[in-house]
């Protein structure tokens, strides 16, 4: 694949990913609370169909998320990732409740060659797939090769990194990388890097099985439709048996229907996506309503991308001034009702390595600092700055964020700064971001795996650039067009560095570079909420953002 076609593919993947995931937030603020309470809709289950009413050992879960496919070689959305995490296993996973990477289908962490290119992984010898096929290194090699070659949406995650996959023993897998990558074991925990049966799947471009899953996990797929998904316990599972007798998932067409069905006892668990008023109501009524509110952080970051191709954003003082204008606590109070956290680095605060570099450099709503920077850059009331912010038209959340920023900035710097808020259809916006059309966009980012690299490399690296502008590469696709040979060097060094302390220092340097050069401005980090009826136990969102269904039980 040529560099140009690679970049085009990455832009397409990034755009589709942004649009699909931003769509999760559609309507968060568009439904008034009165309608939410008053409208249950036709997709509310009958009381005798709900596990909450039946009292058996199966657990019912409601969500507004949808699953396009369950083929691990093509699934690249949030909800299919959760399902695959529960239907399958991976070479490595995370100890529940922690961010400690531990072996799962592997028996120990990889042995890494001195040059950082060869990973040798010993495998379990007591695992059987759902169709009775014995698990071994050949099955794992087949599954990884299929992930890379079939051309699915997440294929590049491995194909960009892996040069060769080989079963070097019946229970030994050897992976050879194209270049050193310290985060590789974490990448192997991605939900799609799960073994599938060679009897049910094949290697071939575009050869996908979206409505089935035959793997190794604690559940088997019993049924899969557009409005419901059923998971049955895998009685032959090699590991600990699930704490329940199965999972019944109902997919709702609106947050209002999900809210009402849970509130009236028709579901055991409600998870994603309720609007802020509904979340606040369930929190207020927790004691009287007889349910539990489980709050967790997320690794989803929300940010501005500042396009350095467009004047005056090519002036770092202007970008720094805009960073000083942003008042994150105001956004959290007015827009999110406290259901978010201010974000001061592109690396989420859930990582110990994250440093609040933007808070230290620019504070929140520091209009005196912003005015001083703009004055130095030649702006005045006679020559005011116009800031143009774009967002996808379907995202009511980002509309409110953009207009709150406008009101705050224009009140803080009257006559000096005017904010123009613009929107366009989401698919159009994401398709054109890499073309450099928009000065500033409001966007979000869902990590592919739990490592700081996934919040650094896609934002700061660039394959081809000149005159401080990226011509082809990730920062171009992300809309900032940031180009720094020093940043490229540090990104490559942290990816290759095997010593944790040395890598931590490199990542700290990159975070400081983000704050100095301001190609992006971090804004907020979402909170995640799960609601469970009284007597439902084991409900939690993991620090890595996974939702472990096998832990849930009826007390």
**Structure tokens that stand for 518 in this block:** 């301001």
At 145, is the pLDDT very low, low, confident or very high (cuts 50, 70, 90)? Answer: very high
The angle subtended at Cα 385 by Cα 472 and Cα 361, nearest 5°, is 70
Closest to 543 (Cα-Cα) out of 276, 305, 348, 358: 348
**Structure tokens that stand for 43 in this block:** 């997709």
HEC string of 391-448 equals EECCCHHHHHHHHHHHHHHHHHCCCCEEEEEEEECHHHHHHHHCCCCCCEEEEEECCC
Task: Output the furthest CA–CA distance in the chain (Å, rounded).
Answer: 76
Q: How confident is the model over 315-356, as pLDDT tens digits?
A: 999 999 999 999 999 999 999 988 999 999 999 998 999 999
pTM, 2 dp: 0.86
Q: What is the pLDDT of residue 27?
A: 38
Task: Find the DSSP H helices in 150-197.
Answer: 156-159, 184-187
Q: How confident is the model over 188-209, as pLDDT tens digits?
A: 999 999 999 999 999 999 999 9
Check pLDDT > 90 for residue 45: no
Q: What is the pLDDT of residue 21?
A: 44
CB 84 within 8 A of CB 192: yes
Q: How confident is the model over 161-170, as pLDDT tens digits?
A: 999 999 999 9
Q: Which has the minimum average pLDDT: 28-37, 92-101, 301-310, 340-349? A: 28-37
Check pLDDT > 70 for residue 14: no
Q: Please give the Cα distance from 536 to 268 (Å, whole number).
A: 7
Long-range contacts of 356-361, Cβ-Cβ distance < 8 Å, separation of 24 or more: 357/511, 357/512, 357/514, 357/515, 358/323, 358/515, 358/521, 358/522, 360/515, 361/320, 361/323, 361/515, 361/516
Query: Could you tell me what percent of the chain has a pLDDT over 90?
Result: 87
Q: How confident is the model over 372-404, as pLDDT tens digits?
A: 999 999 999 999 999 999 999 999 899 999 999
Calculate mean pLDDT across residues 352-380.
Answer: 98
Query: Could you tell me what percent of the chain has a pLDDT over 70?
Result: 90
At 15, is the pLDDT very low, low, confident or very high (cuts 50, 70, 90)? Answer: very low
Q: How confident is the model over 46-90, as pLDDT tens digits?
A: 333 443 434 589 999 999 999 999 999 999 999 999 999 999 999
C-alpha dihedral, 82 to 83 to 86 to 91, nearest 10° = -70
CB 291 within 8 A of CB 531: yes
Q: Please give the Cα distance from 477 to 441 (Å, whole number).
A: 12
**Structure tokens that stand for 260 in this block:** 């009402």
- For residue 418, list its beta bridge partners: 386
């Amino acid at each position: 694949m040529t560099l140009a076609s690679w970049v085009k593919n990455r832009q397409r993947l990034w755009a589709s990913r942004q649009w699909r995931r931003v769509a999760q937030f559609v309507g968060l603020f568009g439904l008034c609370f009165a309608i939410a309470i008053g409208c249950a809709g036709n997709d509310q289950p009958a009381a005798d169909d709900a596990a909450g009413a039946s009292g058996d050992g199966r657990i019912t879960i409601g969500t507004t998320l949808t699953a396009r496919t369950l083929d691990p070689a093509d699934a690249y959305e949030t909800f299919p990732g959760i399902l695959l995490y529960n239907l399958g296993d991976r070479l490595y996973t995370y100890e529940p409740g922690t961010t400690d990477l531990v072996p799962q289908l592997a028996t120990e962490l990889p042995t890494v060659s001195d040059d950082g290119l060869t990973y040798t992984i010993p495998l379990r010898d007591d695992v059987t797939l759902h169709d009775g096929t014995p698990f071994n290194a050949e099955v794992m090699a087949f599954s990884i090769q299929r992930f890379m070659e079939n051309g699915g949406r997440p294929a590049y995650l491995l194909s960009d990194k892996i040069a060769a996959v080989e079963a070097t023993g019946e229970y030994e897998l050897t992976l050879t990388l194209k270049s050193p990558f310290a985060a590789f074991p974490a990448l192997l925990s991605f939900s799609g890097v799960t073994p599938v049966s060679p009897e049910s799947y094949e290697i071939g471009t575009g050869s996908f099985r979206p409505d089935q899953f035959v793997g190794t996990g604690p559940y088997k797929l019993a049924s899969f439709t557009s409005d419901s998904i059923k998971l049955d316990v895998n009685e032959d599972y090699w590991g600990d048996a699930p704490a329940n007798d199965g999972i019944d998932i109902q997919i709702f067409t609106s947050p209002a229907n999900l809210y009402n069905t849970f509130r009236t006892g028709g579901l055991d668990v409600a998870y994603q996506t309720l609007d802020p008023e509904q979340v606040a109501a369930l929190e207020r009524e927790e004691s009287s309503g007889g349910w539990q509110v489980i709050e967790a952080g997320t690794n989803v970051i929300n940010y501005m991308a500042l396009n350095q191709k467009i004047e005056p954003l090519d002036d770092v003082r202007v970008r720094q001034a805009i960073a000083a204008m942003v008042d994150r606590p105001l956004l959290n109070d007015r827009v999110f009702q406290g259901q978010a956290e201010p974000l001061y680095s592109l690396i989420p605060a859930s990582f110990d390595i994250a440093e609040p570099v933007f808070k230290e450099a620019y504070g929140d709503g520091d209009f005196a600092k912003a005015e001083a920077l703009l004055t130095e850059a030649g702006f005045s009331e006679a020559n005011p700055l116009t800031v143009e912010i774009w967002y996808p038209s379907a995202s009511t959340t980002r509309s409110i964020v953009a207009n709150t920023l406008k009101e705050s900035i224009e009140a803080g710097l009257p006559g000096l700064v005017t904010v123009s808020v613009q929107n366009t259809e989401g698919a159009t916006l994401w398709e054109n971001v890499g073309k450099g059309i928009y000065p500033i966009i409001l966007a979000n980012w869902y990590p592919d795996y739990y490592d700081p690299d996934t919040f650094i490399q896609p934002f700061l690296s660039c394959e081809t650039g000149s005159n401080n502008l990226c011509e082809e590469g990730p920062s171009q696709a992300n809309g900032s067009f940031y180009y720094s040979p020093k940043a490229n060097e540090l990104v490559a060094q942290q990816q290759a560095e095997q010593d944790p302390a040395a890598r931590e220092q490199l990542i700290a340097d990159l975070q400081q570079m983000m704050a100095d050069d301001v190609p992006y401005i971090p804004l907020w980090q979402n909170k995640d909420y799960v609601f469970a009826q009284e007597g439902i136990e084991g409900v939690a969102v993991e620090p890595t953002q996974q939702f472990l269904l096998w832990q849930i039980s009826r007390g």
